[in-house]
Amino acid sequence: MFIKSLLLFSLAVLISMLYSNNSIAQSHEKLAKASQNPVTNFLNFPFQNNTNYGVGPHKRTQNVLNIQPVIPFSLGKKVTMINRIILPVITQPSSTEDNSSTGTGDLLYTAWFSPAKASKIIWGVGPVLQLPTSTSDQFGSGEFGIGPSVVLLSMIDKWVAGAVINNIKTFGDKSTNKFFINYFVNYNMPNGWYLVSAPIVTANWNAAQDQKWLVPVGGGIGKVVKLGGKLPLSMQFQVFNNVVRPDGLGSWQTRIQLHFMFPTKQMKEQMKNK
C-alpha cells in the first residue's frame, strides 16, 4: 500500500506537469504559500487521503479520505469569515473478518473570524461543530459536538509555519472529548516545489492515560502546478511514524493530498501587488 500511494502521487505530479506553465515560477511560489495558509482568501477544495497501516488485531489497512472545502466570506473591510468543512469517507477493516466496510464519518464545520488585513502573525478564531453524519458507529460517535478552534501562522521568507488547534466535546451516550492539533512547517523552493511536515496530533481525554495520545512524526514533499496553465493545484505526499499511539493502531501512515485553489477577486489583486 505504501508503494501504491507513492506511485499514485508520482503519477499525479507527472501528469499535471504536462499541463502546467512552469515559466511563471514566482506565481507558483505565491500559490504554494497560499495553499499552506488555512485562512487564505481562496476558494479551496482539498482532498486529503490518509492511509493507516497495521490497524486492529489483524494488522490491516484503514483509509480516511477527508473532503474539506474552505470558503471565505468578507464581513466588511476588517474581518473575513473562513468556513471549513471536513467530511471523512472511511474504509474501516473488520476486527473479526477478512473484509472492510466504507461509510462517512461525522462532519466537522469550523468558522474562523480573521482580520482581513494580514500581519506578521496571521490568525483566526471561532467555533468548531461536529454534526452527526456518520453512517455507522464504527465511523464516528454520531453525536452533536462543539468546541473552540484557533489557527495561527507566520510567513517568513520561504517558510510558512503554524498550527490549527481545536477541542470538541460531544453530547450523548458516548460524550466524547477530543483534542486536535495539526501543526505545519513548509519550506518553499523554486518552481512550486516545497518540503512539508504537517502531522495531525490527537488526544482522547476520555481514554486511559496510556491510550490518550496519537503523535505522528514525519513529512514529505509537494508541488504546485497550474492545470491547463490556469487552475492552481497543490499536490503533496507525506509519510509519518506514530511514535506515540493507542493500542490497535500501527506504526506508520501515509498521506496524499490534492488541493485545488480558486482565487477570489481580492486575492488576485493582492498577488499582483506582491
Q: DSSP characters for 159-176?
A: EEEEEEEEEEEEESSS--
| Residue 188, beta-bridge partner list | 194
Can you list the alpha helix ranges (DSSP code H) found in the chain?
2-18, 25-35, 265-273
Domain ranges of the chain: 2-273
Class of domain 2-273: mainly beta
Q: Which amino acid is at 144?
A: F
| Residue 264 confidence (pLDDT) | 64
User: Rounded to whole angstroms, how far apart are CA atoms 61 and 165?
Assistant: 27
| Residue 135 confidence (pLDDT) | 94
User: Rounded to whole angstroms, how far apart are CA atoms 141 and 132?
Assistant: 7
| Residue 116 confidence (pLDDT) | 87
pLDDT mean for each 10 residues of the chain (274 residues)? 49 46 54 82 90 89 94 90 96 83 96 90 96 93 97 94 97 94 95 95 96 97 88 94 94 96 64 51
Cα 60 vs. chain centroid, distance in angstroms? 23
Letter string b/e over residues 212-227, b meaning 16 or more CB atoms within 10 A of that residue's CB: bbbbbebbbebbbbbe
| Residue 119 confidence (pLDDT) | 84
Whole-number CA gyration radius for the chain: 19
Q: Is the pTM of this model over 0.75?
A: yes
Q: Count CB atoms within 10 A of the CB of residue 57.
A: 10
| Residue 6 confidence (pLDDT) | 46
